[in-house]
């Protein structure tokens, strides 16, 4: 897939095309944008285009350089992304192989990005610096691709700053971040920034279908991603997401209907004390359902995220007081804040359950 085949982001693609046509590439580029905007895929296509053996303003997708870059096996393409704190590999080659596998999963949407307890260490950046110091071999440039650049520790960020201040010849660094404000201002000042916008629902659905998703699933994933906080890739992967969504459906339905037994059954199925990541996903889906209920009551069915749940949403909406849905949403926001303070998950869900019941029409 070349740059021109990517969905949306026409402004960013035009800027890249101008750089390539004029052969005036910045030595450091920051690709920033919200979740689901296609940052990582754009970064890989840019890396391919930089070293494409067919001159032009895009990657040809046919030459040996493009094919190797597609699988992240190009000798001139070097990767950095967060790894679990304290993880070790015995050799530099093993470290780079592990990074390559993780990066491929992220670019292809087969894994989520940032996880608790991961970072980009100073040692990792030193390894990148070593790789980038060699002259390019099979193509014009060495390219350093740094995913989730905001995850750099302070010492590592300062090491990268030194590289950016005096970049090795024929080297280009591509940083990718959905939280660029967490980067050092001095690093930001040395990067040419490409700011991506959120994809529209139709663009997101088109992109997911290009990656092989069925249309119905792609539409659902795009709508849920647009509702906020839910990764389209999580929806596409299927089984784990569907199981969690079924628990949320039961939880909300039981709260509206006042079924105590269903409430306790859901808690049991959640495992008594779910981990933080699971609870975040549960609350995000609760928020998406509440948003849909509000839209149904406002007769805005075209904008609902859970498009396959329209019948349930209408039935639930009839049993809720409109002015109470906003209060439940506020309780959800407070629950997110409480997660960072390690509040007992059962207490969070009990409070949410209580306010759902209070929202019921008499």
The domain limits of the chain are: 3-198, 238-358
Instruction: Provide DSSP, 58-99.
Output: S--S-SHHHHHHHTT--TTEEEE--EETT---SSHHHHHHHH
pLDDT at position 45 is: 92
Q: Which residues pair with 179 in a beta bridge?
A: none
- Return the axis-axis angle of helices 276-297 and 310-318, rounded to nearest 10°: 70
> Using 50, 70 and 90 to split pLDDT, how confident is the model at 156?
confident
What would the pLDDT profile of 106-125 be if each residue is shown by its tens digit? 676 555 554 445 788 888 88
Residue 341 has a CB neighbour count (10 Å cut-off) of 6
What would the pLDDT profile of 288-344 be if each residue is shown by its tens digit? 998 999 899 889 999 999 999 999 999 888 888 877 888 888 888 888 777 767 777
Of residues 201 and 325, more confidently modeled: 201
Residue 99 has a CB neighbour count (10 Å cut-off) of 23
pLDDT at position 335 is: 82
Indicate the range of 178-192, 198-212, 257-271 predicted with least confidence: 257-271
Rounded-to-integer distance, Cα 304 and Cα 15, Å: 34
Which CATH number applies to 3-198: 3.90.1150.10, 4.10.910.10, 3.40.50.300, 3.40.309.10?
3.40.50.300
pLDDT at position 68 is: 92
Of residues 346 and 23, more confidently modeled: 23
Rounded-to-integer distance, Cα 304 and Cα 282, Å: 18
> Average pLDDT of the chain?
85
pLDDT at position 131 is: 87
CATH architecture of 238-358: Up-down Bundle (1.20)
Supply the pTM of this predicted model: 0.76
């Amino acid at each position: 897939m070349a740059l021109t085949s990517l969905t949306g982001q026409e402004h960013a693609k035009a800027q890249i095309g101008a750089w390539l046509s004029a052969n005036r590439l910045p030595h450091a580029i920051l690709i920033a944008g919200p979740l689901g905007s296609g940052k990582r895929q754009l970064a890989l296509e840019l890396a391919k285009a930089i070293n494409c053996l067919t001159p032009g303003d895009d990657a040809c997708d046919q030459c040996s350089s493009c094919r190797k870059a597609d699988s992240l096996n190009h000798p001139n393409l070097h990767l950095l992304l967060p790894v679990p704190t304290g993880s070790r590999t015995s050799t530099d080659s093993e470290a780079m192989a592990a990074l390559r596998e993780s990066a491929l999963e992220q670019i292809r949407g087969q894994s989520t990005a940032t996880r608790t307890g991961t970072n980009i260490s100073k040692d990792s950046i030193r390894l990148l610096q070593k790789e980038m110091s060699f002259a390019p071999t099979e193509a014009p440039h060495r390219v350093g691709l740094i995913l989730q650049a905001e995850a750099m520790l302070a010492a590592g960020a300062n090491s990268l700053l030194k590289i950016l201040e005096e970049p090795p010849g024929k080297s280009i660094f591509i940083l990718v971040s959905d939280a660029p404000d967490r980067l050092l201002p001095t690093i930001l000042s040395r990067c040419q920034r490409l700011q991506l916008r959120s994809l529209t629902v139709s663009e997101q659905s088109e992109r997911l279908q290009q990656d092989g998703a069925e249309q119905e699933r792609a539409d659902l994933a795009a709508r849920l991603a647009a509702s906020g906080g839910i990764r389209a890739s999580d929806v596409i992967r299927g089984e784990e997401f569907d199981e969690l969504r079924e628990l949320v459906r039961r939880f909300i339905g039981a709260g509206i209907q006042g079924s105590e037994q269903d409430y306790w059954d859901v808690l049991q199925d959640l495992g008594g004390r779910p981990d933080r990541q699971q609870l975040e996903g549960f609350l995000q889906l609760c928020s998406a359902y509440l948003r849909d209920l509000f839209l149904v009551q406002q007769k805005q069915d075209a904008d609902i995220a859970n498009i396959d749940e329209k019948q349930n949403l209408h039935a639930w909406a009839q049993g809720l007081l409109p002015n109470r849905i906003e209060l439940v949403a506020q309780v959800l926001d407070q629950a997110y804040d409480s997660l960072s303070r390690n509040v007992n998950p059962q207490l969070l869900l009990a409070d949410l359950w209580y306010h759902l019941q209070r929202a019921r029409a008499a």
